[in-house]
Structure 1
Amino acid sequence: MRDHAPVNFQTSGCAIADLHAIYLALHGLLPDEPLPQIYVVMGAGNSGGTAGPGAQVLGLEVLCSVDPDAAGFERSLRRFFGHETVHTFQHDPKNADRSPLLAEALTEGSADFIAALVTGQTPEPARAAWAQPREAELWRMFRADILVAGPDAAKRSPSAASAATHRWVENYGSAPPGWPYEVGYWIGMRVWQSYYDAAVDKHAAIRDMLTWDDPELVLKKSRYAGGSPAP
């Protein structure tokens, strides 16, 4: 993202109030996690939000293009306040390279899941409405693409692995025809929903969303079955 002067965020009273509410909720849910600084910038048009330890950066030009009206822009800000903040809490999974597509879906899905808890809104509701009735078929496709995008298969056919990955993630503006973008986020969120529902200790389940290391173990523990009852 290009280096520009930050936007004066104080101009939006609603945004400040939303940020305070979301940060209070995140602090209550995860009191040991330091809340990050937020920088709102004009960037290169390639990222709505990115995050690292202690900070998140929001790309104003992308947020405005996605939701150009005032109400939509405020919804986007709430979503990014929650989602990107969760990314600042997450550690890098040690074994993500064993199943990179699943790992990326779990990383993004956990950020969406926790963001939904603290904002009270479904991330990308249009995407969720499209995906929900197709859940079983999407899960079958995703499971097949996990193998195609895996490390061994990727060595044999890097182009096929790339296509499998970009069917689900990293495809803003280039999703498959008729699909919303980043459906893998929704899949990851559904896996974590199943994981959370099965957990006796809900707070421990939330901590697991930040500290997991083995994507296949998370999937096994979640017992997620594409919307069907787990065996």
Structure 2
Amino acid sequence: MTLTRMLARLAAFCLLSLGVTTASATEATYRPTVSSVDIGHFWEAYDAAIKADDPDQQRAILQRLYIDRGTPGLQAFMQAKGYTAQSYVDAIRSYPRYWASIRSHTLRAPSAIAALEPELRKFQALYPELRPGSIYFAVGALKSGGTTQGDKVLIGAELATGDETVDISEMTPKMQAWLTTYFHSRPFDNMVLLTVHEFVHTQERGPGQNLLGQAIYEGVADFVAEQVTGRKPQLPYIDYGPKHGEAIKTAFVKDMADEDTSGWLYNNTNNPFGVRDLGYYVGYAICQAYYQKAPDKQAAIKQMIELDFADKQAVKAFADKSHYFD
């Protein structure tokens, strides 16, 4: 049996396991599309590409065997991250040890799919208005372990399945520093948490229009994912944030109306603390404060998810009601 067929069968089995009845109003009543077939297609294309030393030939192979055969999820992932066939050629040629060491990890994706069923049930119990979405596991070109586009959750298996055993020795010092921290968090062990976080984004009205809005947009996803799974991401901002909360709050207030979010979100350390993604911590802390003060906890979750992040006044009102900045 080919790798693609094996993964397809596993994905189909997992998809069936996610299909549930409509016997009661508390049960999930939809069948999300969950697919990992792009992973098998990638490795078929990879095996063919590395046999052809010419970059033009490699680009044509990746286009034909991977991209042209891609699921809607792969197409959305490529659009969201600006991937092209050349992106894959560049990544493969630059980091051969990386790809050799990550391969077996990516093939674990179907087991993560199977673990999603109970968490999606919990999510709908927490938020009965949950809308259907699609979850796709694909292989990207080292830009994102997970993102969304519309109702699609897009997981980059070449990052999200890794751990400390992956060989990053060929990468730049900056990439090594990032991936050392990221893989130390053991993302595969937290795959369900990551996927639920991204699934929350498919339900939100986002993204935000300034730093405060975008921080709360991410904070809602972190907070709701914790309520569903009982877990937090094992990333530096989780430990660092509470220990330096007042100083972070003071610095954040100075920037929160800015449209530039780069110092606080998406792996940038250009802030007074030199710690990545502290905007996630601030957004989470605002949501936590809001939730703790809310008399109706389920209504609070609904209000978080349905907040209009494009409305700066609504976002500011939400933050004010949390009293986090008081």
**Alpha-carbon shift at residue 190 of structure 1 (Å):** 0.3
Q: 1:114 is matched with which residue?
A: 224
Counterpart selection for 1:181 from 276, 280, 285: 276
Q: How many residues align?
A: 203
Matched, 1:145 2:241: no
Larger-Rg structure: 2
Q: 2:143 is matched with which residue?
A: 46
Matched, 1:77 2:191: yes
Identity %: 28
Matched, 1:168 2:264: yes
User: What is the identity, as a one-letter code, of the residue corresponding to 1:121?
Assistant: R
Q: 2:115 is matched with which residue?
A: 18
Give the Cα separation in 1 of the matches to 2:144 and 2:250: 30
Give the Cα separation in 1 of the matches to 2:122 and 2:136: 20
User: How does the TM-score come out when normalised to structure 1?
Assistant: 0.77
Q: 2:39 is matched with which residue?
A: 7
Counterpart selection for 1:62 from 137, 159, 171: 159
Give the Cα separation in 2 of the matches to 1:12 and 1:83: 17
Q: 2:75 is matched with which residue?
A: none
**Alpha-carbon shift at residue 101 of structure 1 (Å):** 0.5
Q: 2:234 is matched with which residue?
A: 124
Which 4+ stretches in 1 moved above 3 angstroms? 8-14, 64-71, 176-180
Change (3 A) 1:138 1:7: same
Between 22-31 and 137-146, report the one with greater CA deviation.
22-31
Give the Cα separation in 2 of the matches to 1:5 and 1:188: 34
Give the Cα separation in 1 of the matches to 2:226 and 2:245: 19
User: How does the TM-score come out when normalised to structure 2?
Assistant: 0.56
Q: Work out whether residues 79 and 123 of structure 1, in 8 Å CA contact, stay in contact via their aligned partners in 2.
A: yes
Q: Work out whether residues 160 and 188 of structure 2, in 8 Å CA contact, stay in contact via their aligned partners in 1.
A: no
Give the Cα separation in 2 of the matches to 1:81 and 1:110: 14
The 5 A counterparts of 1:89-100 are 89-92=203-206, 96-97=208-209, 100=210
Give the superposed CA RMSD. Answer: 2.7
Q: Deviations over 1:86-116 (max 9, x none)?
A: 00011237xx54xx10000010000000001
Q: Work out whether residues 236 and 276 of structure 2, in 8 Å CA contact, stay in contact via their aligned partners in 1.
A: no
Q: Deviations over 1:9-33 (max 9, x none)?
A: 8855641342112111112112221
Q: Work out whether residues 22 and 81 of structure 1, in 8 Å CA contact, stay in contact via their aligned partners in 2.
A: no
Counterpart selection for 1:104 from 188, 207, 214: 214
Task: Give the number of the structure with larger relative contact order, counting CA–CA contacts within 8 Å between residues 6 or more apart.
Answer: 1
Matched, 1:28 2:125: yes
Q: Work out whether residues 35 and 85 of structure 1, in 8 Å CA contact, stay in contact via their aligned partners in 2.
A: no
